[in-house]
């Protein structure tokens, strides 16, 4: 056998042995069952929010919520100046602080159910300033609830997509369980109690995303 032939045979044997060894250490896993091998399960934002909403989100909001009138009077016309007052929370990558607030006996002075971002405008007892107070009741446009929670951190999520998904699911929870049950009762002149969160990204506008909303 010539040297060239011996090389071909050796190469073939080596390839066969490598294939055998390689095949011996590989486990075939069906698509969708990767978690049984890696220990990782598919992220489900809806289930995640469901598991923390009543047990953690609402209790934390209620426990640290500051009275809206007190917050507004302290701000003196500039909500962005509050900083860490009233347990203000700002994530590492955020520009603005988030706060939990509450009001009892707030009067609805205007209702907007026609705009893409539906709101009710509120007048709260004890505040006579010009800061506009609104509560979201339609499409929701911020992440103030997620960002105000002490136990929710970006580092706990795999990527930005999951971080955004958890916020979207929270806002869906707000709409389904907080706003929709009282939606038809949200009329001008009605009196409401609420607990919610806002982001201080405007000096003279407080846009609250509610976690508790009741009509008296």
- Domain of 115: which CATH number? 2.40.50.140
* Residue-level pLDDT at 11: 47
Task: For residues 20 and 104, state if they share a domain.
Answer: no
Task: For residues 105 and 179, state if they share a domain.
Answer: yes
| Size of the chain in residues | 216
Task: For residues 35 and 119, state if they share a domain.
Answer: no
Task: For residues 123 and 165, state if they share a domain.
Answer: yes
State both tokens at 210: 């509610």
Neighbours of 172 (CB within 10 A): 14
What residues pair up with 123 in beta bridges, in sequence order? 107
Task: For residues 30 and 95, state if they share a domain.
Answer: no
Could you tell me whether strands 98-112 and 66-67 are parallel, antiparallel, or unpaired per DSSP bridges?
Answer: parallel
Domain that holds residue 15: 1-42
Task: For residues 13 and 54, state if they share a domain.
Answer: no
pTM check: above 0.85 = no
* Residue-level pLDDT at 10: 46
* Residue-level pLDDT at 130: 96
Q: How many domains does the chain have?
A: 2
**Cβ-contact 34, 43 below 8 angstroms:** no
Task: For residues 3 and 98, state if they share a domain.
Answer: no
Angle at 11 between CA 9 and CA 14, to 5 degrees: 110
CA distance linking residue 8 with residue 3, whole number of Å: 9
Three-state DSSP at 51 gives: helix
Task: For residues 27 and 108, state if they share a domain.
Answer: no
The pLDDT averaged over each successive group of 10 residues in the chain (216 residues) is 45 46 45 47 90 97 98 97 95 88 98 96 96 96 95 93 96 98 98 98 97 98
Identify the DSSP state of 17.
H
* Residue-level pLDDT at 39: 59
* Residue-level pLDDT at 41: 66
Task: For residues 31 and 110, state if they share a domain.
Answer: no
CA distance linking residue 157 with residue 106, whole number of Å: 37
End-to-end C-alpha distance for the chain, whole angstroms? 99
């Amino acid at each position: 056998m010539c040297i060239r032939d011996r090389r071909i045979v050796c190469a073939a044997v080596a390839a066969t042995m490598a294939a055998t060894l390689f095949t011996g250490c590989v486990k075939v896993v069906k698509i969708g069952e990767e978690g049984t091998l890696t220990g990782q399960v598919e992220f489900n934002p809806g289930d995640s929010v469901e598991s923390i909403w009543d047990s953690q989100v609402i209790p934390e909001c209620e426990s640290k919520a500051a009275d809206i009138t007190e917050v507004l009077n302290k701000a003196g016309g500039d909500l962005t100046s509050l900083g860490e007052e009233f347990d203000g929370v700002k994530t590492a990558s955020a520009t603005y602080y988030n706060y939990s607030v509450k009001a009892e006996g707030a009067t609805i002075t205007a209702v907007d159910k026609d705009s893409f971002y539906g709101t009710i405008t509120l007048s709260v007892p004890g505040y006579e300033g010009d800061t506009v107070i609104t509560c979201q009741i339609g499409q929701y446009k911020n992440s103030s609830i997620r960002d105000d929670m002490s136990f929710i951190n970006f580092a706990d999520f795999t990527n930005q997509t999951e971080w955004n998904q958890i916020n979207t699911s929270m806002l869906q929870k707000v709409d389904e369980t907080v706003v929709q049950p009282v939606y038809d009762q949200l009329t001008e002149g009605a009196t409401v109690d609420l607990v919610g969160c806002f982001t201080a990204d405007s000096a003279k506008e407080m846009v609250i995303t509610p976690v508790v909303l009741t009509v008296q």
